[in-house]
Amino acid sequence: MRILFVSVEVAPFAKVGGLADVAGALPKALRRLGHDARVVMPLYRMIEDDPRWQLATTLDEFEVRMSSHWSKTATFRETELEGLPVGFIGTDEWYGASVNSETLYQPGGMQHLFFSQAVLTAMEQLDWIPDVIHCNDWHTGFVPCLMREKGGNTWDEVASIYTVHNLAYQGEFGFEVLDALDLPRSLFNSEKVEAWGRVNFLKTGCVYSDRVNTVSETYANEIQTPEFGCSLEGLMAHLDHQGRLAGILNGIDTDVWNPETDPDIPVHFSARNLAGKGECRKKLLEEVGLPEIAGAPVFGVVSRLSSQKGMDLMLKAAEAMFSLPVQLIVQGLGDPALAQAFTKLEARYPNNFRFVNRFDAPIAQRIYAGCDGFLMPSAFEPCGLGQMIAMRYGTVPVVRATGGLADTVFEGHNGFVFHHMEPMELLSAVERARFAYQRPDQWQKLMQKGMKTDLTWDNSAKLYTRLYEEARASRGILAAKTA
């Protein structure tokens, strides 16, 4: 099966969040199953300037006609990532020197409209029409729409899959979106692209795709409720009723996240030989300047600083946790108010707490490897990768039962779970973890359960293959009806 994976971020080329990890790993797993999977993403300047990638120019210049009054010249360049073909759409604006949450998600939406049309145009120019296009998050929501509204016979029988990685980010704009594409304003209705008076990219992707999925089974159920549906719970329930909504849990690249080979940790270890983990713990405490407290487990956090990630909840429970005692290391960037609160907390509890207020991937690796436990008290978590990485490194997760956290961490089996966003609930889960930590045999079993869990992309890739086949079957029926 020919599969084109479309994303605005792909690791290791450009990464803002977990989407990049998925886009870099899932297509490789699909290729291992024998599919001709390829990836296409924007050509950011940081990628052009990086000599590691050795980009080859496939299309020097081609015209991307957005509408009767708007067209742009683009380039298509390619490289390979461990046998995976990766294509890059370049143009003379939008894709700046570096990529972060501000440059990637800049307002206006026009760069994403251009990218969506350019992907289809490039595939036509290259004469490589896939069997399935797999689109991701709101930035690519108009790809399925353009396939159906403007694609003609070329795209009629090509199935489309749309993955919602986080429903909270939807891409909402005005009529100018439709006008820029010469799409009729009649599409601006509740059955098509409109939601709450705006053109909604994410809704558009869901409406026009043959199948929609989220990144965990629990999240697929949660987004059908007002609490998690972000004002689109009605649409999600409708998709589920139609049999078009599924949940497929993400995996992790276990070659990258591997305590036996990780170059950023001081000592390697495995589920068979855990001796090196104790040395990683010792070195981590030395690195962050945290004195060891006898009998106190060390918990780690690697996270964006936000209420969604439960950082405010953790602050409320921190003093009670320290009194148990436990120690805590938090690494992250985000909300300045939360950063300030964590800074003050460190000053008050210098023996219990360290705050690493910067992005530093090697230190993150050492936190995963060197801590005893890992906290993820998220208000919502579509999938979550942190708990999977932590388990891979023998670090026992304590999580709230939401989204992918509920699908991967199980009380007393490979971690500890609480249910309500209350400080005392988090504290109780940490207390249970500390109780187990003081019983080495019990704790080692928890560590090894996590380390031996199959967290690879292989099972997920098989489920995606089934979803692609369902979408292709549905598209064949739809194409026959409209012929």
Task: Provide the phi-psi class of 45: left if phi over 0, else alpha when psi is between -120 and 50, else beta.
Answer: alpha
The whole-number pLDDT of residue 107 equals 55
How many C-beta atoms lie closer than 10 Å to residue 287's C-beta? 16
The whole-number pLDDT of residue 94 equals 79
Alpha-carbon gap, residue 412 to 183, rounded angstroms: 54
Using the structure block, give the residue that is written with the tokens 């049309």.
117
pLDDT digit string (tens) for 415-469? 999 999 999 999 999 999 999 999 999 999 999 999 999 989 999 999 999 999 9
Alpha-carbon gap, residue 11 to 463, rounded angstroms: 22
Alpha-carbon gap, residue 442 to 124, rounded angstroms: 58
CB 325 within 8 A of CB 352: yes
The whole-number pLDDT of residue 93 equals 79
**Torsion angle in degrees (nearest 10) through CA of 370, 375, 378, 383:** 50
pLDDT digit string (tens) for 184-223? 999 989 999 999 999 999 999 999 999 999 999 999 999 9
Alpha-carbon gap, residue 90 to 82, rounded angstroms: 22
pLDDT digit string (tens) for 258-295? 999 999 999 999 999 999 999 999 999 999 999 999 99
Task: Provide the phi-psi class of 198: left if phi over 0, else alpha when psi is between -120 and 50, else beta.
Answer: beta
Angle, alpha carbons 167-27-243 (nearest 5°)? 45
Percent of the chain scoring above 70 in pLDDT: 96
Q: Which segments within 303-434 are labelled E, that is strand?
A: 327-331, 353-356, 373-376, 396-400, 416-418
